[in-house]
């Protein structure tokens, strides 16, 4: 499958590498490819610039948001939640129409410092806002409750854990679930329509507090039943 991963940060890099590993052809989308490759400074978390990662993953192409989305069968939104709608607008509604969009973004608001709050919650979600803004796109919320490396390599943990999918299109969720299984996830729970993304997005305050208590993001929850 031809997959576009929108976002060049650690989440985008992890997803691009993981999806390539399981046999997909991946193009990473960015606003300005030349500017992205020209950056030499570490990101805000001290991680190396995208160019360093890209030099080690020459089988992954880099293109504008629009060009990446246009050539893709499936699109992954792996950017900052505050920029999600702008990124998708740059990709183009016509390039997203009829396609499955895996939304990994979270509505984190850092305006008051850390830990962040959520800029949408309770009666709405970022996943719903994306679906409303792009009604011809099949939005599936998933993987937003994990740190980047566990999204694509859950076997780093000593036992299986749980991931979720939310979306209005059953076939789109089945497609995403197949990808999750190929990445190594052994317990995928379908929460229902895209409105159920409220639950996984509102898990983030707990996730952040847990990360603070453990001193690491290398953990996940497991639904025992």
Largest distance between two CA atoms of the chain: 50
- CA 103 to chain centroid, in Å, comes to 5
pLDDT for residue 45: 74
Using pLDDT thresholds of 50, 70 and 90, give the confidence band for residue 100.
Answer: very high
Using pLDDT thresholds of 50, 70 and 90, give the confidence band for residue 15.
Answer: very high
- The answer to whether residues 115 and 87 touch, using CB atoms and an 8 Å cutoff, is no
- CA 193 to chain centroid, in Å, comes to 18
Work out the burial of residue 130: count CB atoms within 10 Å of its CB; fewer than 13 is exposed, 13-18 middle, 19 or more buried. buried
What is the DSSP pairing of strand 163-167 with strand 2-6? unpaired
| pTM as predicted | 0.96
2-214: CATH topology is Rossmann fold (3.40.50)
- Residue 42, SS3 per DSSP: coil
- The answer to whether residues 182 and 157 touch, using CB atoms and an 8 Å cutoff, is no
Q: What is the pLDDT of residues 31-90, one digit of tens each?
A: 999 999 998 888 877 788 999 999 999 999 999 999 999 999 999 999 999 999 999 999
DSSP secondary structure, 84-120, as one string: HHHHHHHH-HHHHTTSEEEE----EE-TT-SS-EESS
pLDDT for residue 114: 86
pLDDT for residue 44: 73
Using pLDDT thresholds of 50, 70 and 90, give the confidence band for residue 115.
Answer: confident
Q: What is the pLDDT of residues 125-182, one digit of tens each?
A: 999 999 999 999 999 999 999 999 999 999 999 999 999 999 999 999 999 999 999 9
- The answer to whether residues 77 and 87 touch, using CB atoms and an 8 Å cutoff, is yes
pLDDT for residue 93: 98
Across 186-225, b (16+ Cβ under 10 Å) vs e yields: ebbebbeebbbbbebbbbbeebbeeeeeeeeeeebeeeee
pLDDT for residue 162: 98
What is the mean pLDDT of the segment spanning 180-207? Answer: 97
| pLDDT of 206 over the 80 cut | yes
Two structure tokens written together for 47: 């991680």
What is the mean pLDDT of the segment spanning 195-223? Answer: 97
pLDDT for residue 7: 97
- Residue 127, SS3 per DSSP: helix
User: Where do the H-state alpha helices sit in 184-221?
Assistant: 197-201, 204-214
- The answer to whether residues 76 and 15 touch, using CB atoms and an 8 Å cutoff, is yes
Per-residue HEC secondary structure of 149-168 comes to HHHHCHHHCCCCCCEEEEEC
So where are the chain's domains?
2-214
pLDDT for residue 42: 80
pLDDT for residue 57: 95
pLDDT for residue 47: 83
């Amino acid at each position: 499958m031809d997959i576009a991963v929108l976002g060049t940060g650690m989440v985008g890099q992890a997803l691009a590498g993981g999806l390539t590993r399981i046999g997909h052809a991946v193009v990473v989308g960015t606003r300005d490819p030349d500017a992205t490759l020209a950056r030499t400074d570490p990101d805000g978390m001290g991680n190396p610039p995208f160019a360093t990662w890209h030099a080690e993953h020459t089988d992954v192409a880099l293109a504008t948001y629009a060009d990446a989305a246009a050539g893709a069968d499936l699109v992954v939104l792996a950017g900052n939640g505050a920029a999600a709608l702008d990124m998708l607008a740059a990709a183009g509604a016509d390039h997203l129409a009829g396609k499955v969009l895996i939304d990994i973004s979270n509505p984190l608001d850092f305006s008051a410092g850390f830990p962040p709050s959520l800029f949408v919650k309770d009666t709405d979600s970022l996943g719903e806002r994306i679906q409303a803004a792009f009604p011809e796109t099949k939005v599936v919320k998933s993987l937003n409750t994990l740190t980047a490396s566990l999204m694509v390599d859950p076997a780093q943990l000593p036992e299986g854990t749980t991931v979720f999918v939310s979306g209005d299109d059953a076939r789109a969720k089945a497609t995403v679930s197949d990808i999750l299984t190929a990445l190594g996830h052994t317990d995928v729970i379908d929460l229902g329509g895209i409105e159920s993304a409220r639950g996984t997005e509102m898990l983030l305050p707990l996730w952040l507090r847990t990360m603070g208590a453990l001193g690491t993001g290398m953990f996940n929850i497991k639904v025992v039943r």
